[in-house]
Structure 1
Amino acid sequence: MPAENVDASGTAHAPAGPDARIVSLVPSVTELLFALGLDRFVVGRTGFCIHPRERVRAVPKVGGTKAVKLDAVRALRPTHLIVNVDENEKATIDALAESVPHIVVTHPLTPRDNLALYALIGAIFGCEDAARQLGEALRARLDALSATQWPERRVLYVIWRDPWMTVARDTYISSMLRLVNWQTLPAVSGGRAGSARYPSFELSAAWMADVDDVLLSSEPYRFTERHREALAADPLLTGKTVRLIDGEMVSWYGSRAIDGLDYLRRLALEG
């Protein structure tokens, strides 16, 4: 089996037939499926699979990424279930594996991993040319970013409040930010899966003194201008720049990563 047919779990997948029925439990992969022209095969998605907004509305929902309605998935009789190590619960995946013939596991950890993701979906579902075109577009942007000398910024990327939560350095988000030399703090790694990848923190932590910029993400917690203003006025963050950042552009892999790299470049140039 060619390497491009092997998913993140090490499972090799044969090409799907013309009667493939896909349920995607991964918002960014759902968007990728549409970008690759696989609309007719997508029979189910989560409520968080919101792109492409107009076209995805016709696809039935099967719950959330972590609150999947198992019976709803089974009723759709999928041949393929697409999941992600970080976003979906292992117990859910194991339960559905009993009735779904093919479980396709994804786990991009860096923007460049999208090249393998495109190739995987292209090889399984017979859209290699479209996948290759996406790969070329992504490579061009990666090459442009790597050819630029970006000044280092030490950033705190905030994804949640009550408690405050951020990202470890071995997450996809942190890897994206490093492309423009934004180094995330705290300088911790969380491993391939689990809550340690998204550690909690206190604004009074000693390492906060080294932070230049605080980036408030629009997801999973929807930080707004009101939150930004409140934090900017907090004495614990005196001297730091507090900014809002589009979480979809930084955390969504798949086809969104291409626009995400353009977005990140613009942010970095703004300083």
Structure 2
Amino acid sequence: MTGREAWDDDGGQRHERADSDARIVSLVPSLTELLFALDLGGQVVGRTGFCVHPREALRAVPKVGGTKDVRLERIRELEPTHVLVNIDENRRETVDELAAFVPHIVVTHPCSPQDNLRLFDLLGGVFSAAQRAALLAAELRAALDEAAALRAELDDERVLYLIWREPWMTVARDTYIAATLAEVGWETLPARHGGAQGAARYPAFEWGEPWLAQVERVLLSSEPYRFRDLHVTEVAGLSALPAQLVDGEMVSWYGSRAAEGLRYLCALRRSLRERAGG
């Protein structure tokens, strides 16, 4: 990142290096956590109610609504120089309205764990946190190598990843979640892509769908629906398949959580293999 003075975001906008007194509002939980991991917490002046990590440090940071129902006037009062948004998590209309009074809107859209390397480069460069960003990048590369070694060791397994109940919902293959699971050899079903932002990325399904016959394991996420042990029993009965709770934050949060998430999934796959006696 040294020697550069401008970085392109995922919306195609070029950003020059910010002043040291930049005021940042983050509308994305993963990015809020990343800012603190980059030692930029002192410049964060606003966040959503879903931005909960790091918990203690965020108690003093004002909330500006949710990721979808943003309170524009509250952001205006905070006078940010930069607002961080995500293509999947924030509404385009909101971003357009913010652009009318915020000097810099930084658009992000990581679609796979590898995309975090570019994200680290972007935020580390714009906000003069290159050294911390390089450490995060090295940690992620090590986790990606661990995941690749696991894939070489174990056969791939076809999984159904549940994110909601009533209606039952899962993820398309072009989501960050599916890409993260694929890194450790968990191939999500159904084998479809959702395309642009919308419901197709997180499709509802019925338990009689033909493609369910290919599923080998069901994973129940802790978010956004808080699946519990009783749901594992329910799903095992509905599917006649092994079912397992997983920490949704470890699978769906990007940024500084990406390396930890991959290590978590590697450990989980090894644990399940040992439990099965494989």
TM-score range, shorter chain: over 0.9
RMSD: 1.3
Shift, 1:152, TM fit: 1.3
Normalised by the length of structure 2, the TM-score is 0.94
Secondary structure (helix, strand or coil) at the match of 1:33 reads helix
Cα distance change of structure 1 residues 153 and 72 upon mapping to structure 2, 3 Å threshold:
same
Contact 1:31 1:51 in 2 (8 A): yes
1:187 corresponds to 2:188: no
Q: Is the 8 A contact 2:172 2:191 kept in 1?
A: yes
Contact 1:23–1:44 under 8 Å retained in 2: yes
Aligned partner (choices 56, 68, 76) of residue 66 of structure 1: 68
Judge conservation of contact 1:218–1:247 (CA < 8 Å) in 2: yes
Q: Which has the larger displacement, 28-37 or 159-168?
A: 159-168
Kept after mapping to 2: 8 A contact 1:217/1:223: yes
List runs of 5+ in structure 1 lacking aligned partners.
Answer: none
SS at match of 1:5: strand
**Distance in 1 of aligned mates of 2:217 and 2:123:** 37
Give the drift of 1:200: 1.1
In 1, distance between residues paired with 2:104 and 2:142? 33
Question: Counterpart of 2:16 in 1: which secondary structure?
Answer: coil
Q: Secondary structure at the match of 1:59?
A: coil
Does the 8 Å CA contact 2:5/2:16 hold for their aligned counterparts?
no
Percent of pairs identical after alignment?
57
Q: Is the 8 A contact 1:4 1:116 kept in 2?
A: no
Which residue matches 1:262?
A: 263
How far the C-alpha of 1:134 sits from its partner, in A, is 0.4
Q: Is the 8 A contact 2:25 2:44 kept in 1?
A: yes
Contact 2:5–2:17 under 8 Å retained in 1:
no
1:139-158 to 2 correspondences below 5 Å: 139-148=141-150, 149=152, 150-158=154-162
| Structure 2 unaligned blocks of 5 or more | 273-278
Q: State yes or no: 1:198 paired with 2:202.
A: yes
In structure 1, C-alpha distance between the alignment counterparts of 2:233 and 2:93, rounded to whole Å: 40
Structure 1 residue runs of 4 or more that deviate by more than 6 Å after TM superposition: none
Q: Which SS does the other structure have where 1:34 is aligned? A: helix
Deviation at 1:4, TM superposition (A): 7.0
- For 1:97, the equivalent position in structure 2 comes to 99
Q: Give 1:225 shift.
A: 1.1
Question: What's the CA shift for 1:192?
Answer: 3.9
8 Å CA contact retained: 1:4, 1:119: no
1:260 is aligned with what amino acid?
Answer: G
The structural deviation recorded for 1:3 is: 9.4
Give 2:218's aligned residue.
214
Alignment of 1:41-60 (within 5 A): 41-60=43-62
- d(CA) in 1 for partners of 2:93, 2:164: 25
Residue equivalent to 1:13: 15
Counterpart code for 1:109: C
Tell me the CA shift for residue 195 of structure 1: 2.0
* Aligned counterpart for 1:121 among listed residues 120, 123, 127: 123
Q: Size of the alignment, in residue pairs?
A: 268
- Return the alpha-carbon distance in structure 1 between the equivalents of residues 216 and 82 of structure 2: 44
- Whole-Å Cα distance in 1 between the matches of residues 182 and 101 of structure 2? 40
The residue type paired with residue 75 of structure 2 is V
Partners in 2 of 1:224 and 1:181 — Cα distance?
Answer: 24
- Report the AA paired with residue 266 of structure 2: R
User: Once the two structures are superposed, what CA deviation does each residue of 1:183-215 show, in whole Å capped at 9, x if it has no partner?
Assistant: 100000011422211111111111111111111
